[in-house]
Copies of this chain bind each other. A is one copy, B any other.
Amino acid sequence: MAAGKILYAQSGGVSAVINATAAGVIETARDKGMVVYAARNGILGALREDLIDTTKEAKASIAALRHTPGGAFGSCRYKLKSLDENRAEYERLIEVFRAHDIRTFLYNGGNDSADTANKVSKIGHALGYDVNCIGVPKTIDNDLVVTDTCPGFGSVAKYTALSVREASLDVASMADTSTKVFVIEVMGRHAGWIAAAAGLAGSKAGDPPHVILFPENVFDPEAFLARVQTTVDKVGYCTVVASEGVKDAQGRFLAESGARDAFGHAQLGGVAPVLVALVREKLGFKCHWALPDYLQRSARHIASRTDVDQAYAVGKKAVEYAAEGLNAVMPVIVRVSDEPYKWTIEAAPLDKIANHEKKMPKNFMTKDGFGITAAARRYLAPLIQGELPPPFGEDGLPVYVSLRNTAVPKKLKKFKAAS
């Protein structure tokens, strides 16, 4: 078994299942007699020496993390600069690790975090303090390379496909005299994985969604409007799924091209209203639009069981790797078969993952650019399979846990850069 303690930190946008990973980490560590500290608010907590002693939490609380959305210890969007630009930050991390006998660093995030974990490992060694750094995959964007999928994605995918199916039934009921075009805007600034998953809502011609707009394609207003019109003619209504990252021919986000707020500022975070304005103006249809925003990535009540299982498994595996003394690796999900979906977990070197980005393959989008192919379905379908709802209380709402998050007494002086 590895000596010293484990430090676990959550990084970047949280998800419906990142706490399931935390549960996998802590429960496995407890089984092995290892101590886990957590960094409060992600890497900033490590820099600030703001650490949480997870041994103070009840067993039931840790178990409840498996079904609780959000980030139980807090997360942050904070990317460490390069070693050349801010070596002090890396040295500070090592200082904190040394002060608290941290010998394993588990960094739960995307490709930036994989890069940071990789660098921390190297500088620790250079400073004479060896720390095993393990990246633990998490991102709803599904854009990590090597791994088959990223924990967090499957649940957003399921939420999105299900929401499209449900809302389209509503629209279809009323289309004769009311809304004919419904636009739902989903996350995905650079890659259209979530938009693609919406395609799982339908299985035969005429099923919603009828138009998917991917950030990988240049938005063509003429082609879009033509498709909306023919869909309304044929089906009676049209459901559109739009990635927030859809761009025009000039490479500008559509979301930034249109509306101004009450103060005259360009209004961000709204590709849907821009599309709706276009359809109203050019085709004259009554439109409605939805922006699920954080609801899509926190919807633990409708999480994918596959996703929850994988999230837990990568946490568990990360601790097993730590116990074996592995360094600079990430537990990645390896697909063994599509149907039935079988997967296993392997250790992949962080070098191969850090700073790469997995785009949607071209052959996942139909030629017209508005739909998904059979290849995409084969890949996506297993990721939303199964349900694992949280317990519901007598009040009719899910019972989610709040941890005590007891602080570890500080031993060092304040670190200015992270204030």
Contacts and interface: CB of A to CB of B under 8 A. Distances in A.
Interface residues of A, number: 85
A315 interface: no
A277 interface: yes
A238 to B, nearest CB: 14
Interface in A271-304: 273-274, 276-278, 280-281, 288-295, 297-302, 304
Given A396-B386, A396-B387, A68 B169 contact: yes
B396 A173 contact: no
A290 B295 contact: yes
A368 interface: no
Contact of A397 (B69, B201, B261): B201
A97 interface: no
A217 interface: no
A348 interface: no
A229 interface: no
Nearest to A306: B396
Contact of A260 (B177, B259, B291): B259
B258 A298 contact: no
Interface string A71-95: 1101111100000000000000000
Interface stretch (A25-33, A114-122, A158-166, A406-414): A158-166
A14 interface: yes
Given A77-B174, A257-B262, A289-B293, 5 more contacts: A74-B173, A74-B176, A162-B397, A167-B293, A291-B293
- How many copies of the polypeptide does the oligomer hold? 2
A263 B260 CA distance: 11
A44 interface: yes
A264 B77 CA distance: 35
Given A74-B174, A178-B77, A259-B260, A298 B167 contact: yes
Given A257-B262, A273-B267, A294 B167 contact: yes
A397 B380 CA distance: 13
A297 B170 contact: yes
A166 B259 contact: no
Contacts of A158: 396-397
A303 B335 CA distance: 35
Contacts of A396: 158, 161, 200, 304, 306, 381, 384-387
**Residue from A178, A297, A387 whose CB has the most chain B CB atoms within 10 Å:** A178
Given A162-B397, A295-B292, A176 B41 contact: yes
A416 interface: no
A262 B392 CA distance: 44
A233 interface: no
B44 A177 contact: yes
A207 B415 CA distance: 32
A255 B70 CA distance: 30
